[in-house]
Amino acid sequence: MASTTDIKNGAVLIIDGQLWSVVEFQHVKPGKGGAFVRTKLKNVVSGKVVDRTFNAGAKIDTATVDRRDYQYLYQDGESYVFMDTDTYDQVPVSETVVGDAKNYLLESAMVTIAMNEGNPLYIELPTSIVTEVETEPGLQGDRSSGGTKDATIIATGHRIQVPLYLENGTTVKIDTRDGSFLGRVNN
């Protein structure tokens, strides 16, 4: 058990049997009445965000979350297999835990997996990836300030938007948070 004075960004709390990560918090001491802590919490499993207020000094349950670096190996049916680069242990992670990260999960990529009592909670990708895309050929006169067209990440099959001037087989940098095109990478 901990108290509200131990709340900080990134801390994981156990509330009603569910794990909630502290996104932001604020200690408030009004002129009249007791102090309290206003928090914004994100459900670790579902991603739902809620606001919650605690009285100052209230007891709260905290969870131990172990974040470690793993290397992505391969997909095996409904799960994705990662390897701890220190111990070489392989960890299967279900498709529901991987979620939309599968769209940007390249073979041999390093990711961070958050675990609680040996159970994977979520994975964190690097903020950007460099990969090759497949798209329609660019047309003469297309400029970078123009529109966009569909492209497919060859390694994952995920579709993204790229500028009109890109050629088929171009290596690009993509933001994994929103799938936006960051630039062309010269080989």
The DSSP bridge pattern shows strands 12-15 and 59-62 to be: antiparallel
Q: Which residue has the tokens 């040996």?
A: 118
Copy the structure tokens of residue 29: 């001491």
- Tally the residues of the chain: 187
- The CATH number, out of the four listed (3.30.70.2190, 3.30.930.10, 2.40.50.140, 3.40.630.10), of the domain defined by the range 66-124: 2.40.50.140
Domains 2-62 and 128-184 share a fold: no
Which pLDDT tens digit goes with each residue over 18-76? 888 888 999 888 888 888 999 999 888 777 889 999 988 889 888 888 888 999 999 88
Name the CATH topology of 2-62.
SH3 type barrels. (2.30.30)
Rounded to two decimals, the pTM is: 0.72
State CA 173 to chain mean position distance.
17
CATH number for the domain running over 128-184: 2.40.50.140
Residue ranges of domains in the chain: 2-62, 66-124, 128-184
Q: Sheet containing 66-76: which strands, arranged edge to edge?
A: 90-94, 79-84, 66-76, 110-116, 119-124
Q: What mean pLDDT comes out for the span 1-17?
A: 84
